[in-house]
Amino acid sequence: MISKFLTTGVEPPTSTAETSTGLDIEVNYVDFRDASGEVIEVGDSAGVRANTGSVSLDRTVYPVPFGVVGDFATQATVTTPTGRALFPIHASGIGGTGISGNTAALDSGEFLTGGDLIIHVRVNDPDFDLSASGEDSINSNTTATSVGPVKISVIRGSSSVVLGYAGGDTALDGTIDTDQSTTGAFPLTATRAFGPMTEIAPDAGIFESDITIRYTDGPASTKCPSTTDTWTNLDGGAGTAETDRFDVPPQHLVITVSYKEIFSK
């Protein structure tokens, strides 16, 4: 919201914020007089307009993230619903009994190891394209929640977890929010923050954030693989417990993003 301040005329003056959306900005330049003595004056004007921002993901369907052998508890078979979430290479390239239970063969490098999923979240909001040239960013927390305006969630049926918030002023360590509680020991500000969203080009008005998702980062289900007790830490400490990644352990996949406008229009 662009604001102007009006004084009441009392001393000391008091100010009242008033929106200038829908008004015009006008500039005039007075030059020297012309040959006939008339003042040369030229000007220009521009409107003050607000835009409704939008948010989008870079894909409509994502591959399933996966782990490595060391991430999972020992399984009698990989065909059970809680089998290891691995990505083995083609069957013709696997030696011995392969994925049917030869863990040693898998440990020797017969599976892909880069299984984390990276998604690109984009916000299109020209109101944040403030500089005439140069790269801008969305880097303001919303007043009501004190977190960034973009919320990234993973949803399965009626269950969901909040991976974190983007577009805030600072990137902060924090856990994944599994219960969406706004009070108590795990307020919104304890959820991880991905920090400012950077403009993709100096005059684009489109801002992007890259989010990494592990195979663990979704609502719990009996069909999920049996992960070991070693979890990738998110809270900035050295622990590897489940509570070092989640605020509350899930109670044993669709990605959504939402964007809350920071300024009134």
pLDDT higher than 80, residue 222: no
Which of 64-78, 116-130, 220-234 bottoms out in mean pLDDT, i.e. has the lowest? Answer: 64-78
179 touches 189 (CB < 8 A)? no
257 strand-pairing partners? 152
Residues 75 and 122 in one domain: no
Looking at residue 227, what is its pLDDT? 77
Burial class (CB in 10 A: 0-12, 13-18, 19+), 178: buried
Q: Is residue 31 part of a domain?
A: yes
Q: Is the pLDDT of residue 2 over 50?
A: no
Of 206 and 72, the structure prediction assigns the larger pLDDT to 206
Check whether residue 197 and residue 81 sit in a common domain: no
In a domain, 21, yes or no: yes
CA separation for the pair 76, 82 (Å, rounded): 10
Whether 149 and 217 share a structural domain: yes
- For 82, the domain range is 69-107
pLDDT digits (tens, 9 = 90+) for 5-47: 444 455 555 667 666 677 888 999 988 877 787 888 889 988 8
pTM of this structure: 0.74
Q: Is residue 136 one of the residues assigned to a domain?
A: yes
Q: Note the pLDDT of residue 125.
A: 92
- The band of 153, judged by pLDDT with boundaries at 50, 70 and 90, is very high
Specify if 231 maps to a domain: yes
Instruction: Take residue 248 and report the two structure tokens written for it.
Output: 């509350």
Residue 252 lies in a domain: yes
Shared domain check, 149 and 137: yes
pLDDT mean over 193-197: 94
Half-sphere exposure of 61 (CA within 13 A, CB side): 1
Asked if residue 264 is part of any domain, the answer here is no
Phi, psi of 259 (to 5 degrees): -125, 125
- Number of compact structural domains in the chain: 3
Q: Is residue 265 in some structural domain? A: no
Residues 21 and 91 in one domain: no
Whether residues 103 and 194 fall in one domain: no
Of 64-78, 94-108, 190-204, least confident by mean pLDDT is 94-108
Q: What is the pLDDT of residue 104?
A: 53
